[in-house]
Amino acid sequence: MIQFEEKIWFWTLLIIPVIIAGFLALQYWRKKTQNNFANKVLLKQLSPNKSTFKPILKIVVLSLAFACFSVALVNPKMGTKLQTVKREGLDIVFALDVSKSMLAEDMAPNRLDKSKQLVTQIINSLASDRIGIIAYAGKAFPQLPITTDYSSAKMFLQSMNTDMLSSQGTAINEAIQLSRTYYDDNQDTNRVLIIISDGEDHSDASAEIAEEAREEGIKIFTIGVGDVKGGPIPLKRRGVLTGYKKDRNGETVITKLNEITLKQIAQAANGVYINGKSTKNVVDTIKDELNKLDRSELESQQFADFEDQFQWFLGFGLFFVLLDLLFLERKTAWLKKLNLFNENL
């Protein structure tokens, strides 16, 4: 199997048609200029050793040199061995609250951005575990299925915002229910759900759903973001504060961190609750708790032993450049005797 490391360098192959076009233009100009200077018979007498084939050969060799250099820049890699790689890990699903209350700025820069920071740092502390992401507000929405692609997970994470779900509220039970569909029933893996929220759950069924998840082998950790004293929900237009969210009576809505709900959910599913104020404390606690779990053996296949092959093309490119320098535009003496191209002697 062949892989190309820097495919963008394939664009340098466009130099070759430019070289050929330049060569043809030069030949046309030469021929036109020479015809103005003298007729063909006289020109042949003035330069009897001029070859009509050598210039074409030189441009072909030069084009081959540039082609080799372009492929060398792309750096093709060849893998000759299919290796089975076995890993041990957990299946971890992150459920991130994206309700409007997560815009409150009682935790800098705001609850949602703080939640993203926490998830990112937790992912950075993982090694071979598989992860998935769920977004939820009034409803839960699958954002990223179980994967080992941490880069994609971080990309999806950063794109999450409070406008991605039209149904508002904080239905943690919806997130727990959806997470149960993420895990592969055919694999005996330890399952972890990490909920990041301010805990303002509008449903009383969350603890019961968490108990059902525990019976399926899902351990739930909850992380609370926000302040128990609460804060208003800012309304912004193009990044400029225009006011704060108000209720039907015109009073400013104050949203508070509800640690009680989050603790009940974690307790119901044999997990722990962590206050999200300190990123280091959250990451260290999650890491310690995950290390207590037995990591199941996961299996995947990938091509291994990919080796760089650019040196071959670099070598051929240098060879063709040297060959081009050695070729002169006059006739070669021994080829002239053979008269392979039926040139008039």
CB 116 within 8 A of CB 98: no
The pLDDT score that the predictor gives to residue 49 is 53
Burial of 345 (0-12, 13-18, 19+ CB in 10 A): exposed
Q: Among 91-105, 113-127, 177-191, 293-307, which is the least confidently predicted range?
A: 293-307
Query: What pLDDT was estimated at residue 27?
Result: 78
The chain-wide mean pLDDT, for the chain, equals 83
Determine whether domain 85-300 maps to CATH 2.40.170.20.
Answer: no
Of 220, 214, 217, the C-alpha closest to 172 is 220
Percentage above 90 pLDDT, the chain: 41
pLDDT at 122 over 90: yes
2 vs 15: which has the higher pLDDT? 15
How high is the pLDDT of residue 223? 97
Q: In this predicted model, what pLDDT tens digit does every residue of 257-307 receive, in sequence order?
A: 999 999 999 999 999 999 999 999 999 999 999 999 888 776 655 555 667
Any residues with CB less than 8 A from the CB of 196 and at least 6 apart, and which? 94, 95, 96, 97, 115, 118, 119, 222, 223, 225, 276
The residue behind tokens 């206050």 is 275
Q: Parallel, antiparallel, or unpaired: how do β-strands 218-224 and 191-197 relate?
A: parallel
Q: Which two tokens stand for residue 53?
A: 């084939």
Reported confidence tier of residue 331, pLDDT bands at 50, 70, 90: low
- Between helix 279-291 and helix 111-124 the angle, nearest 10°, is 40
Tell whether the model's pLDDT for residue 48 goes beyond 50.
yes
**All structural domains of the chain with their residue ranges:** 2-75+309-338, 85-300
pLDDT confidence of residue 299:
61
Whether residue 73 contacts residue 9, with contact meaning beta carbons closer than 8 Å, is answered with yes
How large is the angle between the packed helices 206-215 and 172-179, nearest 10 degrees?
20
Q: pTM for this one? A: 0.63
Q: Which residue has the higher pLDDT, 26 or 144?
A: 144
For residue 189, pLDDT over 80 is answered with no
Percentage of residues of the chain with pLDDT beyond 70: 81
